[in-house]
Structure 1
């Protein structure tokens, strides 16, 4: 098959650039889809990032209702196999339980994605129900990190992280209930924005108020791609009972200007959790970069009861996931999750959370409220708080203590182990504030290390402005201009 461009040329284009070439008549949406499909065919046996390619959509990008006049003009896109549904397509959520399950309709966000001109050509991998830190059940699939295939991508947006990092496509769908956009972006050298609560809708299945901590988004390799995605896809469905943020100007315009001098706090000591010395050194190095851009950078920490906040977050996770599992098994006429179809930790979550009382949820909500106010007070004095994306190095594949195939009998101990590594991302979900992982650091293993910036609620634009300022300052050379060893242009 003759491709529209060389792989090196392909990898140099972000989504905005590809869309520009389509509009100029230099390439067609079908040719872009064919090139992405060829990249998947070449690398997926190594990476295990893509569950399914929609060959009919690759052949005919208009088949499922993509708007060719949308801003992305037919740029290929993968949907994480979790969250928004695609009419008539499988959604299996990384689970044997859900094998063969087809969606009856598009979600609201799917419609926005199609209207934006993104061509959904397949499904990317996720751990079962998106619940753990790696898409790594050998009975389903194992998703590998393109920088070193002995390591995980982290999760739960695992396949998206691997595909974007490896240059298969420039932008892809991700979701984040506690770091699942930012953590894998950080380990694979992508840009990953978790927007504020009230930006993207998952209607009709759950509003952001119902879901509380989960949010939608994407991985990309340029700030302008992420900004355009948010501009095009944000907003609630008719009748959703919560406010959806609007902005005075599109982020795509805002990011063309540098922000003013920002007050940026560095932090890594979050309650009981600490980053490794190497990660702290990388954080300090990025702090000096930001000082060089004219910003005020100091060590500071929100006055938050971190133990209470993580305990409440654990209650939220256990009770939310228990209800998710319960809804799925009820639809199949089952009264408990079958041990041969659902992974052990997800069964234990169901057992621990299915009878959570309203009183327990009310107590959890009270802690959420107090924590959100404490972060809000902090952001009266600071514009940005900067942390490493994780406290500990990215695990090698086979590190089962983080997986839902773990044999840990104590679900609270299992979650506590997650928090020790993934300490810096979940509380932004609790508070509904935005966070972005930027590929600015390195781990001792040679994997990328994302540096996370968080801001007050609805200040997503400031995070993107700062990211764009950094991008210009480094000449667009995220990851120091390096590419992973497994890459379409390798």
Structure 2
């Protein structure tokens, strides 16, 4: 098959760059889709990141209602197999139990993506129901890190992380209930923004009340692509429980200007959790770069009861996921999850959460409120807080203690083990504040490592401005200009 461009040329373009070539008539949306499909064919045998390619929209990108006049003009885009539904397409949520599940309608965000001109041409891997840290169940698939396939991508936006990092697509869909956009972005060398509440709809099936901590987003390799994605896809579906807000200026315009000098706090001491010495050194290195850019940087931490916050976050996950599983069981007339089709930790989550009282849920909400208020007070004095993306380095494939295939009999112990690793990302979900992982650090073994910035509610634009300033300071060379071992230019 003759491709529209060389792989070096392909990898040199971000999504907006490809869209510009479509608008100039130099390449068609169908040619872009065919090239992305060829990239999947080359890299996915090593990575296990793509569940399905939609051959019909590769052949005809306009088939499902894509607007070619949107800012992305037919750029290929992959959907995490969880979250927004696509009418008539399989969505199996990383679960044997969900095999053959075919939603009957588009989600609101799906429609927004198509209006934006994105060609939704396939599904990427995720752990079962997005619960755990890695898409790693051999009965389904094992998703591997393109920098070194002995390691996981982490999750739950596992396949998306691999496909963007490997240069197959410039952007891909991701979701985040506690770090699932940002952690795989950090471990695969991508940019991953978790926006504030009130940006991306999870309607019509869910709302910000039913999905307290869940948010939508993407992985990209340039700040302007993430900015354009937010600009084009934000907004509430009819009947939202809260108003959806719009930034005073499009982010693609805002990021062209440097932010004012910012007050930036550093921390790796997060409740009971601490990062490794190498990771702390990488955080300090990022702080020095920000000082060179004219920002004030010092060590500081919100005065929140972080132990209580993590307990409340655990209650939220257990109660939410238990009800998700309950709904699936009810739809099939089942009394309990079948052990051969649902993974052990998810069954234990269902057992722990199915009868959770409203009193416990109310107590959880009270801690959400007090934690969010403490972070809000902190952001009266500071613009940004900078942490590592995780406290520990990327796990190797087969590290089962973080997986929902784990044989840990104690679900609370399983969650506590997660928090020791993924300490820094979940509380921004709890508070509804924006956070971004930027690929500006490196692990001792050479794998990428994300530096994680959080800001106050609705300061998404400030995070993107800062990210764009850093990108310019680095000459656009995220990850020191390195590429993964598994990449379209070398496959």
Q: TM-score, normalised by structure 1?
A: 1.00
User: What is the alpha-carbon distance in structure 2 between the residues aligned to residue 333 and residue 43 of structure 1?
Assistant: 41
For 1:269-306, what per-residue CA distance to the aligned partner results, in whole angstroms no more than 9, with x for missing partners? 01100000000000000100000000000000110111
CA–CA distance in 2 between the matches of 1:129 and 1:334? 18
Q: CA deviation at 1:446?
A: 1.1
Partner of 2:281: 281
- Taking the TM superposition and a 5 Å limit, the aligned residue runs for 1:251-330 are 251-330=251-330
Aligned to 1:213: 213
Give the match for residue 186 of structure 2. Answer: 186
* 2:247 paired with 1:247: yes
Deviations 1:335-379 (A, max 9, x none): 211001000000000000000110000000000000000000000
- Gap regions ≥5 residues in structure 2: none
Structure 1 residue aligned with 2:431:
431
**For residue 132 of structure 1, what is the aligned residue in structure 2?**
132
Cα distance, 1:21 vs structure 2: 0.1
CA apart distance, 1:458: 0.4
Once the two structures are TM-superposed, the CA of residue 316 in structure 1 deviates from its matched residue by: 0.3
Secondary structure in 2 matching 1:326: helix
Question: Any idea what the Cα deviations from partners look like across 1:62-81, whole Å, max 9, x if unmatched?
Answer: 11111111110000000000
Shift of 1:209: 2.5
1:53-452 mapped onto 2 (5 Å cutoff): 53-452=53-452
- Structure 2 distance, partners of 1:243, 1:270, is 32
Query: Residue 29 of structure 1 corresponds to which residue in structure 2?
Result: 29
Aligned with 2:210: secondary structure?
helix
1:471 counterpart residue number:
471
Query: What's the RMSD between the two structures over aligned residues?
Result: 0.5
- For the residues of structure 2 that align with 1:133 and 1:447, how far apart are their CA atoms? 17
- After TM superposition, what 4+ stretches of structure 1 lie above 4 angstroms from structure 2? none
Residue 445 of structure 1, CA deviation? 1.6
Q: Give, in angstroms, the shift of residue 55 of structure 1.
A: 0.3
Given that 1:208 and 1:215 are in contact with CA atoms closer than 8 Å, whether structure 2 keeps it comes out as no
Report if aligned partners of 1:270, 1:306 keep a CA contact under 8 Å in 2.
Answer: yes
Assess if the C-alpha contact under 8 Å between 1:49 and 1:124 holds in 2. yes
CA distance in structure 1 between the partners assigned to 2:7 and 2:252 by the alignment: 27
Rounded to whole Å, the distance in 1 between the matches of 2:335 and 2:446 is 46
CA contact (8 A) 2:65 2:114 kept: yes
**Conserved in 2, the CA contact under 8 Å of 1:264 and 1:296?**
yes
Over residues 154-180 of structure 1, what are the superposed CA-to-partner deviations in whole Å (9 max), with x where a residue is unaligned? 000000000000000000000000000
* Cα distance in 2 for residues equivalent to 1:331 and 1:289: 53
The 2-side partners of 1:83 and 1:12 are apart by 30
| Residue 482 (structure 2) aligns with | 482
- For residues 100-142 of structure 1, the C-alpha deviation after alignment (integer angstroms, 9 at most, x for no partner) is 0101010000000000000000000000000000000000100
Counterpart of 1:149 in 2: which secondary structure?
strand
Q: Scaled by the length of structure 2, what TM-score is found?
A: 0.99
CA contact (8 A) 1:434 1:455 kept: yes
Task: Give the distance between the partners of 2:253 and 2:329, measured in 1 at CA.
Answer: 46
- CA-CA distance at 1:239 after TM superposition: 1.1
Q: Structure 1 stretch 192-201 or stretch 322-331: which is displaced more?
A: 322-331
| Structure-1 separation of matches of 2:331 and 2:55 | 29
Cα offset, 1:208, TM superposition = 2.0
Of 236-245 and 58-67, the range deviating more from structure 2:
236-245
Contact 2:153–2:162, Cα closer than 8 Å, also in 1? yes
Counterpart Cα distance in 2 of 1:122 and 1:289? 38
State the Cα distance separating 1:246 from its structure 2 match.
Answer: 1.2
Q: Following TM superposition, by how much is the alpha carbon of 1:244 offset from its aligned partner in structure 2, in angstroms?
A: 1.1
SS at match of 1:208: coil
Superposed CA deviations along residues 288-338 of structure 1, whole A, max 9, x for unmatched, are: 000000000000011011100000000000000000111112112212110
